[in-house]
Amino acid sequence: MKIYHNPRCSKSRQGLAILQESKVDFEIVEYLKTPLTEKDIKELVAKLNIDPIDLVRKNEAIWKENFKGKELSNEEVIKAMANNPKLIERPIVVHNDKAIIGRPPEKIISII
């Protein structure tokens, strides 16, 4: 099990706490320190079973200033997230071939 985590995000910290309380073994990936590649993001999107745009934090200034209102292909959205990791929703928990966005953090319980 793995959590893609941003320690500065309250929802991400809450998600991490849920995993810690569950006593399962998991790895923490601080994706702002260790950015995801385009390949990593494609794999996450597939495990989440969503379109890449659904993984984007659309209220981030980077998105609003550079991408909002533009017609972007899935590849372009993935590239934007790879180049700007702050755009990726958080936390994301991966377990085997499934993943979930922990918003609200209680959703993480369903994947444990």
Any idea which residues carry the catalytic annotation? 9
Cα–Cα distance between 112 and 95 in angstroms, integer? 8
Contacts of 42 (CB under 8 A, 6+ apart): 78
Contact 88, 71 (CB under 8 A): no
8-state DSSP, 78: H
Label the pairing between strands 2-5 and 27-30.
parallel
